[in-house]
Protein backbone atom coordinates (compact mmCIF):
# COMPACT_ATOMS: atom_id res chain seq x y z
CA UNK A 1 0.00 0.00 0.00
CA UNK A 2 1.25 3.45 -0.90
CA UNK A 3 1.23 4.82 2.63
CA UNK A 4 3.69 2.23 3.91
CA UNK A 5 6.73 4.17 2.77
CA UNK A 6 10.04 2.73 3.81
CA UNK A 7 11.97 4.47 6.55
CA UNK A 8 14.55 6.08 4.29
CA UNK A 9 11.82 7.62 2.10
CA UNK A 10 10.07 8.98 5.20
CA UNK A 11 13.35 10.36 6.45
CA UNK A 12 14.13 12.02 3.13
CA UNK A 13 10.71 13.69 3.16
CA UNK A 14 11.26 14.99 6.67
CA UNK A 15 14.69 16.38 5.77
CA UNK A 16 13.14 18.13 2.79
CA UNK A 17 10.36 19.49 4.99
CA UNK A 18 12.91 20.81 7.49
CA UNK A 19 14.96 22.45 4.72
CA UNK A 20 11.87 24.18 3.31
CA UNK A 21 10.86 25.46 6.75
CA UNK A 22 14.35 26.81 7.36
CA UNK A 23 14.36 28.42 3.91
CA UNK A 24 10.95 30.03 4.48
CA UNK A 25 11.34 30.86 8.17
CA UNK A 26 11.09 34.63 7.68
CA UNK A 27 7.96 34.27 5.56
CA UNK A 28 6.36 32.07 8.22
CA UNK A 29 7.17 34.65 10.89
CA UNK A 30 5.75 37.38 8.66
CA UNK A 31 2.58 35.36 8.01
CA UNK A 32 2.07 34.88 11.75
CA UNK A 33 2.55 38.61 12.26
CA UNK A 34 0.01 39.44 9.57
CA UNK A 35 -2.48 36.96 11.01
CA UNK A 36 -2.54 38.35 14.56
CA UNK A 37 0.59 40.44 15.12
CA UNK A 38 2.32 37.51 16.70
CA UNK A 39 5.63 38.87 18.05
CA UNK A 40 8.52 37.50 15.94
CA UNK A 41 10.34 36.33 19.09
CA UNK A 42 7.33 34.24 20.09
CA UNK A 43 6.99 32.92 16.53
CA UNK A 44 10.59 31.75 16.55
CA UNK A 45 10.43 30.17 20.00
CA UNK A 46 6.97 28.58 19.87
CA UNK A 47 6.54 27.91 16.17
CA UNK A 48 9.50 27.71 13.76
CA UNK A 49 12.42 26.80 16.07
CA UNK A 50 10.18 24.45 18.02
CA UNK A 51 9.26 22.61 14.82
CA UNK A 52 12.81 22.57 13.46
CA UNK A 53 14.05 21.04 16.70
CA UNK A 54 11.23 18.47 16.61
CA UNK A 55 12.06 17.60 13.02
CA UNK A 56 15.74 17.19 13.93
CA UNK A 57 14.86 14.89 16.80
CA UNK A 58 12.51 12.82 14.64
CA UNK A 59 15.01 12.52 11.79
CA UNK A 60 17.71 11.45 14.27
CA UNK A 61 15.54 8.83 15.98
CA UNK A 62 13.24 7.56 13.25
CA UNK A 63 15.08 4.23 12.75
CA UNK A 64 15.14 3.60 16.49
CA UNK A 65 11.48 4.48 16.99
CA UNK A 66 10.31 2.44 13.99
CA UNK A 67 12.40 -0.62 14.82
CA UNK A 68 10.80 -3.92 15.74
CA UNK A 69 10.94 -4.09 19.53
CA UNK A 70 11.62 -7.42 21.16
CA UNK A 71 9.92 -8.06 24.49
CA UNK A 72 10.39 -10.81 27.05
CA UNK A 73 8.32 -13.84 26.04
CA UNK A 74 5.77 -15.41 28.36
CA UNK A 75 6.77 -18.78 29.79
CA UNK A 76 3.24 -19.94 28.96
CA UNK A 77 4.22 -19.83 25.30
CA UNK A 78 7.63 -21.42 25.74
CA UNK A 79 9.54 -21.59 23.44
CA UNK A 80 8.85 -18.34 21.58
CA UNK A 81 10.26 -14.98 20.49
CA UNK A 82 7.89 -12.05 21.09
CA UNK A 83 8.01 -8.61 19.53
CA UNK A 84 6.10 -5.43 18.65
CA UNK A 85 5.78 -4.21 15.08
CA UNK A 86 4.89 -0.54 14.55
CA UNK A 87 2.57 -0.20 11.62
CA UNK A 88 1.29 3.03 10.06
CA UNK A 89 -2.46 3.44 10.53
CA UNK A 90 -2.89 4.43 6.89
CA UNK A 91 -4.83 7.58 6.05
CA UNK A 92 -4.63 10.20 8.74
CA UNK A 93 -6.64 13.41 9.07
CA UNK A 94 -5.11 16.27 11.07
CA UNK A 95 -7.28 19.28 11.95
CA UNK A 96 -5.38 22.23 13.42
CA UNK A 97 -6.41 25.34 15.41
CA UNK A 98 -5.38 28.96 14.85
CA UNK A 99 -3.59 29.85 18.07
CA UNK A 100 -0.23 28.24 17.26
CA UNK A 101 -1.21 27.70 13.64
CA UNK A 102 2.14 26.57 12.31
CA UNK A 103 3.35 24.45 15.20
CA UNK A 104 0.07 22.66 15.87
CA UNK A 105 -0.29 21.74 12.20
CA UNK A 106 3.29 20.70 11.44
CA UNK A 107 4.10 18.93 14.70
CA UNK A 108 1.49 16.15 14.34
CA UNK A 109 2.15 16.07 10.60
CA UNK A 110 5.85 15.39 11.23
CA UNK A 111 5.03 12.45 13.48
CA UNK A 112 2.35 11.08 11.15
CA UNK A 113 4.78 11.13 8.20
CA UNK A 114 7.60 9.64 10.31
CA UNK A 115 5.30 6.78 11.27
CA UNK A 116 4.58 6.13 7.56
CA UNK A 117 1.06 7.47 7.17
CA UNK A 118 -0.61 9.30 4.34
CA UNK A 119 -1.82 12.66 5.66
CA UNK A 120 -4.49 15.22 4.95
CA UNK A 121 -3.98 18.39 6.97
CA UNK A 122 -6.62 21.05 7.48
CA UNK A 123 -5.09 24.22 8.94
CA UNK A 124 -7.30 26.84 10.59
CA UNK A 125 -9.17 29.28 8.38
CA UNK A 126 -8.74 31.99 11.03
CA UNK A 127 -5.02 32.38 10.28
CA UNK A 128 -5.14 32.47 6.44
CA UNK A 129 -1.59 33.77 5.85
CA UNK A 130 -0.08 30.93 7.86
CA UNK A 131 -2.41 28.43 6.21
CA UNK A 132 -1.24 29.65 2.78
CA UNK A 133 2.44 29.21 3.58
CA UNK A 134 1.81 25.76 5.03
CA UNK A 135 0.07 24.81 1.76
CA UNK A 136 2.98 26.19 -0.28
CA UNK A 137 5.60 24.27 1.71
CA UNK A 138 3.68 20.98 1.76
CA UNK A 139 2.97 21.10 -1.99
CA UNK A 140 6.69 21.52 -2.61
CA UNK A 141 7.82 18.76 -0.24
CA UNK A 142 5.09 16.26 -1.16
CA UNK A 143 4.29 16.80 -4.84
CA UNK A 144 2.71 13.33 -5.14
CA UNK A 145 0.05 14.14 -2.57
CA UNK A 146 1.26 11.64 -0.01
CA UNK A 147 0.61 14.60 2.25
CA UNK A 148 -2.06 17.05 1.23
CA UNK A 149 -3.31 20.33 2.66
CA UNK A 150 -7.01 21.14 2.43
CA UNK A 151 -7.70 24.78 3.27
CA UNK A 152 -11.06 26.08 4.43
CA UNK A 153 -13.34 26.49 7.39
CA UNK A 154 -16.08 24.53 9.09
CA UNK A 155 -17.56 23.29 5.82
CA UNK A 156 -14.23 21.94 4.61
CA UNK A 157 -13.69 20.22 7.97
CA UNK A 158 -17.16 18.71 7.87
CA UNK A 159 -16.58 17.32 4.37
CA UNK A 160 -13.35 15.75 5.53
CA UNK A 161 -14.97 14.32 8.65
CA UNK A 162 -17.67 12.70 6.52
CA UNK A 163 -14.98 10.51 4.93
CA UNK A 164 -13.47 7.38 6.40
CA UNK A 165 -10.04 7.76 8.03
CA UNK A 166 -7.70 5.37 9.79
CA UNK A 167 -6.76 7.97 12.42
CA UNK A 168 -7.92 11.48 13.28
CA UNK A 169 -5.76 13.94 15.20
CA UNK A 170 -7.70 17.03 16.25
CA UNK A 171 -6.51 20.10 18.14
CA UNK A 172 -9.14 22.67 19.10
CA UNK A 173 -12.07 23.34 21.37
CA UNK A 174 -13.94 20.72 23.39
CA UNK A 175 -17.18 21.61 21.55
CA UNK A 176 -15.69 20.76 18.14
CA UNK A 177 -13.82 17.84 19.73
CA UNK A 178 -17.20 16.22 20.39
CA UNK A 179 -18.20 16.67 16.72
CA UNK A 180 -14.92 15.04 15.67
CA UNK A 181 -15.38 12.16 18.12
CA UNK A 182 -18.91 11.51 16.80
CA UNK A 183 -17.72 11.48 13.18
CA UNK A 184 -14.86 9.16 14.10
CA UNK A 185 -17.20 6.80 15.94
CA UNK A 186 -19.13 6.24 12.70
CA UNK A 187 -16.17 4.20 11.38
CA UNK A 188 -14.61 3.28 14.74
CA UNK A 189 -11.67 5.50 13.83
CA UNK A 190 -9.19 6.06 16.67
CA UNK A 191 -8.64 9.68 17.68
CA UNK A 192 -6.36 11.99 19.54
CA UNK A 193 -8.24 15.02 20.81
CA UNK A 194 -6.04 17.88 22.05
CA UNK A 195 -8.55 20.24 23.67
CA UNK A 196 -8.59 23.02 26.27
CA UNK A 197 -10.04 23.88 29.66
CA UNK A 198 -10.00 26.26 32.61
CA UNK A 199 -6.47 25.92 33.96
CA UNK A 200 -6.12 26.87 37.63
CA UNK A 201 -3.02 28.59 38.95
CA UNK A 202 -2.82 28.11 42.72
CA UNK A 203 -0.66 30.30 44.95
CA UNK A 204 -0.29 29.50 48.63
CA UNK A 205 1.11 31.55 51.52
CA UNK A 206 4.64 30.07 51.17
CA UNK A 207 5.09 30.98 47.49
CA UNK A 208 7.78 33.33 46.21
CA UNK A 209 5.27 35.94 45.06
CA UNK A 210 7.61 38.09 43.00
CA UNK A 211 8.90 35.18 40.95
CA UNK A 212 5.42 33.67 40.70
CA UNK A 213 4.10 36.97 39.31
CA UNK A 214 6.89 37.10 36.69
CA UNK A 215 6.32 33.53 35.53
CA UNK A 216 2.54 33.88 35.49
CA UNK A 217 2.68 37.12 33.47
CA UNK A 218 4.89 35.39 30.91
CA UNK A 219 2.68 32.27 30.67
CA UNK A 220 -0.61 34.15 30.66
CA UNK A 221 0.18 36.96 28.21
CA UNK A 222 2.30 34.96 25.77
CA UNK A 223 0.32 34.90 22.51
CA UNK A 224 -2.04 37.39 24.25
CA UNK A 225 -3.38 34.62 26.45
CA UNK A 226 -4.51 32.55 23.47
CA UNK A 227 -2.69 29.44 24.64
CA UNK A 228 -4.43 26.19 25.55
CA UNK A 229 -2.22 25.77 28.64
CA UNK A 230 -2.24 29.42 29.75
CA UNK A 231 -3.24 29.95 33.39
CA UNK A 232 -6.98 30.63 33.18
CA UNK A 233 -7.51 31.94 36.71
CA UNK A 234 -5.49 32.64 39.85
CA UNK A 235 -6.50 30.96 43.06
CA UNK A 236 -4.59 32.71 45.82
CA UNK A 237 -4.60 32.42 49.60
CA UNK A 238 -6.63 35.48 50.67
CA UNK A 239 -3.91 37.06 52.81
CA UNK A 240 -1.43 37.11 49.90
CA UNK A 241 -3.71 38.81 47.42
CA UNK A 242 -2.80 42.49 47.82
CA UNK A 243 0.95 41.75 47.85
CA UNK A 244 0.61 39.59 44.75
CA UNK A 245 -1.35 42.25 42.88
CA UNK A 246 1.49 44.76 43.44
CA UNK A 247 4.02 42.28 42.03
CA UNK A 248 1.93 41.23 39.06
CA UNK A 249 1.19 44.85 38.06
CA UNK A 250 4.94 45.55 38.14
CA UNK A 251 5.68 42.49 36.05
CA UNK A 252 3.14 43.49 33.39
CA UNK A 253 4.83 46.91 33.13
CA UNK A 254 8.30 45.33 33.09
CA UNK A 255 7.28 43.05 30.22
CA UNK A 256 5.13 45.33 28.08
CA UNK A 257 5.80 48.91 29.27
CA UNK A 258 3.28 51.52 30.39
CA UNK A 259 1.19 51.03 27.25
CA UNK A 260 1.25 47.37 26.07
CA UNK A 261 -0.42 48.47 22.83
CA UNK A 262 2.91 49.93 21.76
CA UNK A 263 4.88 46.87 22.77
CA UNK A 264 6.23 44.78 19.87
CA UNK A 265 6.00 41.79 22.21
CA UNK A 266 2.26 41.64 22.73
CA UNK A 267 0.03 39.88 20.18
CA UNK A 268 -3.52 40.75 19.14
CA UNK A 269 -6.80 38.83 19.45
CA UNK A 270 -7.20 36.68 16.35
CA UNK A 271 -10.40 38.31 15.04
CA UNK A 272 -13.27 40.64 15.90
CA UNK A 273 -15.56 37.78 16.91
CA UNK A 274 -13.14 36.64 19.59
CA UNK A 275 -12.41 40.24 20.53
CA UNK A 276 -16.15 40.84 21.20
CA UNK A 277 -16.41 37.61 23.18
CA UNK A 278 -13.50 38.67 25.39
CA UNK A 279 -14.28 42.38 25.68
CA UNK A 280 -17.84 41.63 26.79
CA UNK A 281 -16.51 39.56 29.70
CA UNK A 282 -14.62 42.49 31.25
CA UNK A 283 -16.76 43.99 34.03
CA UNK A 284 -15.26 47.54 34.44
CA UNK A 285 -15.94 47.65 38.18
CA UNK A 286 -13.80 44.53 38.68
CA UNK A 287 -10.73 45.67 36.72
CA UNK A 288 -7.58 45.85 38.86
CA UNK A 289 -5.34 46.83 35.97
CA UNK A 290 -5.68 46.88 32.17
CA UNK A 291 -9.15 46.61 30.68
CA UNK A 292 -8.20 48.82 27.71
CA UNK A 293 -9.65 47.66 24.41
CA UNK A 294 -9.61 48.70 20.75
CA UNK A 295 -11.73 46.77 18.30
CA UNK A 296 -10.05 48.30 15.22
CA UNK A 297 -6.76 46.76 16.30
CA UNK A 298 -8.27 43.62 17.95
CA UNK A 299 -6.42 44.79 21.05
CA UNK A 300 -7.13 43.92 24.66
CA UNK A 301 -4.52 44.97 27.21
CA UNK A 302 -3.19 42.54 29.83
CA UNK A 303 -6.08 42.68 32.29
CA UNK A 304 -6.39 41.61 35.92
CA UNK A 305 -9.86 41.10 37.31
CA UNK A 306 -10.87 41.00 40.94
CA UNK A 307 -13.26 38.05 40.79
CA UNK A 308 -15.43 36.72 43.55
CA UNK A 309 -18.30 35.31 41.55
CA UNK A 310 -17.74 31.81 40.22
CA UNK A 311 -20.85 32.17 38.09
CA UNK A 312 -19.65 35.30 36.26
CA UNK A 313 -19.24 35.20 32.46
CA UNK A 314 -15.47 35.07 32.92
CA UNK A 315 -15.68 31.96 35.09
CA UNK A 316 -18.05 29.96 32.89
CA UNK A 317 -15.75 28.82 30.07
CA UNK A 318 -12.07 28.76 29.12
CA UNK A 319 -11.10 32.46 28.75
CA UNK A 320 -8.49 32.10 25.97
CA UNK A 321 -7.38 35.73 26.00
CA UNK A 322 -5.35 38.24 28.06
CA UNK A 323 -7.81 38.47 30.95
CA UNK A 324 -6.77 37.01 34.29
CA UNK A 325 -9.28 36.72 37.13
CA UNK A 326 -7.91 36.59 40.66
CA UNK A 327 -9.95 34.56 43.12
CA UNK A 328 -9.10 34.06 46.78
CA UNK A 329 -9.39 30.98 48.96
CA UNK A 330 -9.31 30.57 52.73
CA UNK A 331 -8.25 26.95 53.05
CA UNK A 332 -7.54 23.81 51.06
CA UNK A 333 -11.18 22.70 51.18
CA UNK A 334 -12.10 25.80 49.26
CA UNK A 335 -9.44 25.09 46.61
CA UNK A 336 -10.94 21.65 46.08
CA UNK A 337 -14.43 23.06 45.84
CA UNK A 338 -13.48 25.66 43.21
CA UNK A 339 -11.38 23.35 41.04
CA UNK A 340 -13.96 20.59 41.18
CA UNK A 341 -16.61 22.95 39.87
CA UNK A 342 -15.02 22.67 36.41
CA UNK A 343 -14.22 19.88 33.98
CA UNK A 344 -10.73 18.36 34.24
CA UNK A 345 -8.37 21.06 32.89
CA UNK A 346 -5.55 20.68 30.37
CA UNK A 347 -3.04 22.22 32.80
CA UNK A 348 -2.68 23.08 36.47
CA UNK A 349 -0.02 25.22 38.13
CA UNK A 350 0.85 25.44 41.80
CA UNK A 351 3.19 28.04 43.29
CA UNK A 352 4.43 27.04 46.73
CA UNK A 353 7.49 26.31 48.84
CA UNK A 354 5.58 23.63 50.70
CA UNK A 355 6.47 20.26 49.16
CA UNK A 356 3.60 18.46 50.88
CA UNK A 357 1.07 20.95 49.57
CA UNK A 358 2.42 20.69 46.03
CA UNK A 359 2.33 16.88 46.18
CA UNK A 360 -1.23 16.89 47.48
CA UNK A 361 -2.47 19.25 44.77
CA UNK A 362 -0.77 17.22 42.03
CA UNK A 363 -2.09 13.91 43.35
CA UNK A 364 -5.61 14.92 44.29
CA UNK A 365 -6.64 16.69 41.13
CA UNK A 366 -6.97 15.27 37.67
CA UNK A 367 -5.55 17.43 34.84
CA UNK A 368 -3.53 17.01 31.63
CA UNK A 369 -0.13 18.15 32.92
CA UNK A 370 1.43 21.12 34.62
CA UNK A 371 4.18 22.68 36.70
CA UNK A 372 5.16 23.39 40.26
CA UNK A 373 6.42 26.99 40.51
CA UNK A 374 6.13 27.80 36.82
CA UNK A 375 3.69 27.92 33.92
CA UNK A 376 3.61 26.46 30.38
CA UNK A 377 7.15 25.00 30.37
CA UNK A 378 6.11 21.34 30.70
CA UNK A 379 5.21 21.71 27.02
CA UNK A 380 8.88 22.10 26.13
CA UNK A 381 10.12 18.74 27.42
CA UNK A 382 9.67 16.20 24.64
CA UNK A 383 10.08 13.40 27.15
CA UNK A 384 6.83 14.41 28.86
CA UNK A 385 3.48 13.35 27.39
CA UNK A 386 1.36 16.32 26.31
CA UNK A 387 -2.39 15.88 26.33
CA UNK A 388 -5.54 16.29 28.33
CA UNK A 389 -7.85 14.11 30.36
CA UNK A 390 -11.65 14.05 30.40
CA UNK A 391 -12.95 17.17 28.66
CA UNK A 392 -9.44 18.49 28.03
CA UNK A 393 -8.63 15.66 25.67
CA UNK A 394 -7.97 12.07 24.71
CA UNK A 395 -4.45 10.80 24.08
CA UNK A 396 -1.11 12.58 24.22
CA UNK A 397 1.93 13.26 22.05
CA UNK A 398 5.41 14.85 21.83
CA UNK A 399 8.79 13.26 21.16
CA UNK A 400 8.73 9.50 20.72
CA UNK A 401 5.13 9.38 21.94
CA UNK A 402 4.11 11.33 18.82
CA UNK A 403 5.58 8.58 16.64
CA UNK A 404 3.81 5.96 18.74
CA UNK A 405 0.52 7.88 18.55
CA UNK A 406 0.50 7.54 14.77
CA UNK A 407 1.50 3.86 14.79
CA UNK A 408 -0.55 0.78 15.47
CA UNK A 409 1.46 -1.45 17.81
CA UNK A 410 1.14 -5.01 16.61
CA UNK A 411 2.08 -7.72 19.12
CA UNK A 412 3.57 -10.87 17.59
CA UNK A 413 4.56 -14.24 19.06
CA UNK A 414 6.92 -16.31 16.89
CA UNK A 415 6.50 -19.81 18.20
CA UNK A 416 9.32 -22.33 17.81
CA UNK A 417 8.61 -25.77 16.39
CA UNK A 418 11.34 -27.76 18.12
CA UNK A 419 9.15 -28.32 21.21
CA UNK A 420 5.36 -28.58 21.61
CA UNK A 421 4.17 -29.05 25.21
CA UNK A 422 0.86 -30.91 25.42
CA UNK A 423 -0.47 -29.13 28.50
CA UNK A 424 -2.87 -26.73 26.74
CA UNK A 425 -4.42 -29.19 24.30
CA UNK A 426 -7.58 -31.25 24.79
CA UNK A 427 -8.25 -33.75 26.17
CA UNK A 428 -7.87 -31.67 29.38
CA UNK A 429 -8.30 -34.62 31.75
CA UNK A 430 -5.82 -34.48 34.68
CA UNK A 431 -4.19 -31.29 33.39
CA UNK A 432 -5.93 -28.67 35.51
CA UNK A 433 -3.63 -28.97 38.55
CA UNK A 434 -0.48 -28.69 36.45
CA UNK A 435 -1.88 -25.62 34.65
CA UNK A 436 -2.88 -24.03 37.98
CA UNK A 437 0.61 -24.63 39.39
CA UNK A 438 2.19 -23.12 36.28
CA UNK A 439 -0.07 -20.04 36.34
CA UNK A 440 0.57 -19.50 40.05
CA UNK A 441 4.27 -19.86 39.54
CA UNK A 442 4.37 -17.26 36.73
P1 LIG B 1 -11.95 25.25 17.09
O2 LIG B 1 -12.38 24.01 17.76
O3 LIG B 1 -12.94 26.32 16.86
O4 LIG B 1 -11.31 24.94 15.65
C5 LIG B 1 -10.29 23.98 15.47
C6 LIG B 1 -10.39 23.42 14.06
O7 LIG B 1 -11.64 22.79 13.89
C8 LIG B 1 -10.27 24.47 12.94
O9 LIG B 1 -9.46 23.94 11.92
C10 LIG B 1 -11.69 24.65 12.48
O11 LIG B 1 -11.80 24.95 11.10
C12 LIG B 1 -12.31 23.29 12.75
N13 LIG B 1 -13.74 23.40 13.07
C14 LIG B 1 -14.38 24.42 13.65
N15 LIG B 1 -15.70 24.14 13.77
C16 LIG B 1 -15.89 22.91 13.24
C17 LIG B 1 -17.02 22.07 13.09
N18 LIG B 1 -18.23 22.45 13.46
N19 LIG B 1 -16.83 20.86 12.52
C20 LIG B 1 -15.62 20.46 12.13
N21 LIG B 1 -14.50 21.22 12.26
C22 LIG B 1 -14.63 22.42 12.81
O23 LIG B 1 -10.71 25.77 17.95
P24 LIG B 1 -9.83 27.08 17.74
O25 LIG B 1 -10.67 28.27 18.06
O26 LIG B 1 -9.12 27.04 16.44
O27 LIG B 1 -8.72 26.87 18.89
C28 LIG B 1 -8.95 27.21 20.21
C29 LIG B 1 -9.25 26.00 21.08
O30 LIG B 1 -8.28 25.00 20.86
C31 LIG B 1 -9.17 26.32 22.55
O32 LIG B 1 -10.22 25.66 23.22
C33 LIG B 1 -7.83 25.77 22.97
O34 LIG B 1 -7.73 25.44 24.33
C35 LIG B 1 -7.72 24.57 22.11
N36 LIG B 1 -6.32 24.20 21.87
C37 LIG B 1 -5.85 23.04 22.41
C38 LIG B 1 -4.51 22.71 22.25
C39 LIG B 1 -3.93 21.46 22.82
O40 LIG B 1 -2.80 21.13 22.45
N41 LIG B 1 -4.60 20.74 23.69
C42 LIG B 1 -3.67 23.55 21.52
C43 LIG B 1 -4.21 24.72 20.99
C44 LIG B 1 -5.54 25.02 21.16
What separation in Å is there between the alpha carbon of 160 and the centre of ligand 1? 15
Q: Give the Cβ contact number of residue 102 at 10 Å.
A: 28
Ligand 1 mutation pick, 36, 106, 174, 176, max ligand atoms within 8 A of CB: 176
Active site residues: 194, 228
Mean pLDDT for 321-328 is 98
97 touches ligand 1 (CB under 6 Å) = yes
CA of 393 to the centre of ligand 1 (A): 12
Q: Are 269 and 298 contacting, i.e. CB atoms less than 8 angstroms apart?
A: yes
Average pLDDT in the chain: 96
Q: Is the dihedral of CA 297, 298, 301, 306 positive or negative?
A: positive
Q: How far is CA 398 from CA 40, 103, 110, 350, 383, in A?
A: 24, 12, 11, 23, 7
Contact 263, 256 (CB under 8 A): yes
- Judged against a pLDDT cut of 90, whether residue 330 lies above it is answered with yes
Instruction: With a cut of 70, say whether residue 2 has pLDDT above it.
Output: no
**pLDDT value at residue 3:** 58
Q: For the segment 33-88, what is each residue's pLDDT rounded down to a tens digit?
A: 999 999 999 999 999 999 999 999 999 999 999 999 999 999 889 999 999 999 99
What residue ranges define each of the domains in the chain, with the CATH number in brackets? 7-195+389-409 (3.40.605.10), 200-381 (3.40.309.10)
Whether residue 155 is predicted with pLDDT greater than 50 in this model: the reply is yes
CA pair distance 168, 177, nearest whole angstrom: 11
Query: pLDDT category, 99, cuts 50, 70, 90?
Result: very high
Question: Ligand 1: does its nearest atom lie under 6 Å from the Cβ of 96?
Answer: yes
What is the number of the ligand 1 atom nearest to the C-alpha of 161? Answer: 20
pLDDT at 1: 45
Q: For residues 307 and 287, is the Cβ–Cβ distance under 8 A?
A: no
- Rounded Cα gap, residues 408 and 394, in angstroms: 16
Residue in 172, 173, 388 to alter for ligand 1 test, most ligand atoms within 8 A of Cβ: 172
Percent of the chain with pLDDT over 70: 99
pLDDT at 145 over 90: no
Atom of ligand 1 nearest to the CA of 197: 34
CA distances from 169 to 63, 106, 112, 163, 190 (A): 23, 12, 10, 14, 9
Indicate if the pLDDT at residue 425 is higher than 70: yes
Whether 442 shows a pLDDT value over 80: the answer reads no
CA of residue 110 to ligand 1 center, whole Å: 19
Distance 175 CA to ligand 1 centre (A): 8
Cut 0.85: pTM above it: yes
Burial class (CB in 10 A: 0-12, 13-18, 19+), 345: buried
Query: What is the pLDDT at residue 438?
Result: 85
pLDDT in tens, 222-263: 999 999 999 999 999 999 999 999 999 999 999 999 999 999
Amino acid sequence: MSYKLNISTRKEALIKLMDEIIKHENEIIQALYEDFKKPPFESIVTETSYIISELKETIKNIEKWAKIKKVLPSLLNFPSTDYIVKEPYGKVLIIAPWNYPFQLAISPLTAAVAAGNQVVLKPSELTPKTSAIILQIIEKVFPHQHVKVVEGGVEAAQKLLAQRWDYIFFTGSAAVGKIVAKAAAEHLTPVTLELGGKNPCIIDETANLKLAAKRIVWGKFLNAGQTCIAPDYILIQEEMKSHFITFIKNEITNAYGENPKNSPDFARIVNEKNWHRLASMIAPEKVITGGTTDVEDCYISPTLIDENDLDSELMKEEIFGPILPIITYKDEKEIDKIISKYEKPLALYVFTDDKKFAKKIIQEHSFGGGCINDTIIHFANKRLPFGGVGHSGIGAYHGKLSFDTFSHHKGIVKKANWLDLNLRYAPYTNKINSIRRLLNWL
